[in-house]
């Protein structure tokens, strides 16, 4: 009985040691696999962040966007902005039927690339399509140029159809009298990237555009990644005025030179309305 009992105890001890060793190895292997997965995920995330990061200078600046932004159209043949010069097609004026309403609840955001005002109350019609306003933002100096000359500030009013077709109205600003719209948002402009200010102010976007609504029209792209093409551009021919102080306030809240250089026209038709 003693020999038999000792044998049973000895067998159980061996089994226990082997089982513990096996569990220890499995746990270590599982931890190693989890750590490897985490490291792979971290590396992938880091790689994606590096690939998708863009700016207005250095090795992530505009000249490299087509290389570093996955799936972008930044290297396409119908890109924006452009210089309005040379031969343009004279067209009989076609009104855009702007319908901008008063708005009193605004989100003013510094997204690290521009100062953006989210304002969803407005629309216009072109070629039987209704484009709804979603936001406007700024670039300094201007992105579009006129006969090679730039303006100190340009605003883009971004509109989208129900089918996600995009149209942008561009407005140039030159230094002069204080601008009534910019005066409304002047003190609300966030100075830190990533900051949003929720404000209750009333603005009439009809006053943002020049009195004369003559414009240049062409088909281009977004001027920031992913540089989506097929965008209908309407750039007002007559600039608005803004005070030097207003221009500097908005300019200083944005990255230096947050404009994309003009792009080749590539035989696109530029219409003068």
Residues forming the active site: 113
Q: How far apart are CA 150 and CA 83, in angstroms?
A: 9
Please tell me the number of Cα atoms within 13 Å of 20 on its side-chain side: 6
Asked if omega into 226 is within 30° of 0 (cis), the reply is yes
Please name every residue paired with 133 in a beta bridge, in sequence order, or none if there are none: 159
Distances (CA, A) of 8 to 16, 18, 20, 21, 75: 12, 15, 18, 20, 77
Beta-strand ranges (E) seen in the chain are 83-84, 89-90, 99-100, 102-103, 106-110, 115-118, 122-126, 129-139, 145-146, 153-160, 166-175, 195-199, 203-204, 215-221, 229-236, 240-242, 271-272
Encoded tokens for 143? 């992105």
159, 169 Cβ separation under 8 angstroms: yes
Cβ neighbours of 221 (radius 10 Å): 25
Encoded tokens for 57? 């200078």
């Amino acid at each position: 009985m003693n020999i038999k009992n000792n044998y049973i105890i000895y067998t159980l001890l061996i089994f226990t040691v082997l089982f513990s060793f096996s569990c220890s190895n499995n746990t270590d292997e599982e931890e190693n696999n989890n750590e490897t997965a985490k490291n792979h995920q971290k590396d992938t995330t880091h790689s994606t962040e590096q690939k998708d990061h863009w700016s207005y200078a250095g090795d992530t600046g505009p000249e490299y966007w087509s290389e570093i932004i996955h799936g972008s159209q930044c290297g396409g043949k119908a890109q924006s902005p452009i210089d309005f010069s040379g031969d343009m097609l004279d067209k009989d004026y076609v009104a855009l039927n702007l319908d901008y309403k008063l708005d009193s609840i605004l989100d003013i955001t510094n997204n690290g690339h521009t100062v953006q005002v989210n304002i969803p109350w407005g629309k216009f019609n072109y070629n039987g399509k209704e484009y709804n306003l979603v936001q406007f933002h700024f670039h300094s100096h201007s992105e579009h140029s006129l006969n090679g000359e730039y303006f100190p500030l340009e605003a883009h009013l971004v509109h989208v159809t129900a089918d996600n077709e995009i149209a942008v109205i561009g407005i140039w600003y030159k230094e002069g009298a204080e601008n009534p719209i910019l005066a409304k948002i002047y003190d609300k402009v966030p100075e830190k990237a990533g900051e949003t200010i929720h404000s209750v102010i009333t603005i009439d976007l009809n006053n943002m555009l020049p009195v004369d609504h003559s414009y240049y029209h062409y088909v281009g792209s977004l001027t920031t990644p992913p540089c989506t093409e097929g965008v209908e551009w309407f750039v007002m021919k007559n600039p608005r005025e803004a005070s030097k102080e207003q221009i500097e306030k908005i300019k200083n809240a944005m990255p230096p030179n947050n404009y994309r250089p003009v792009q080749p026209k590539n035989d696109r038709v530029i219409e003068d309305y």
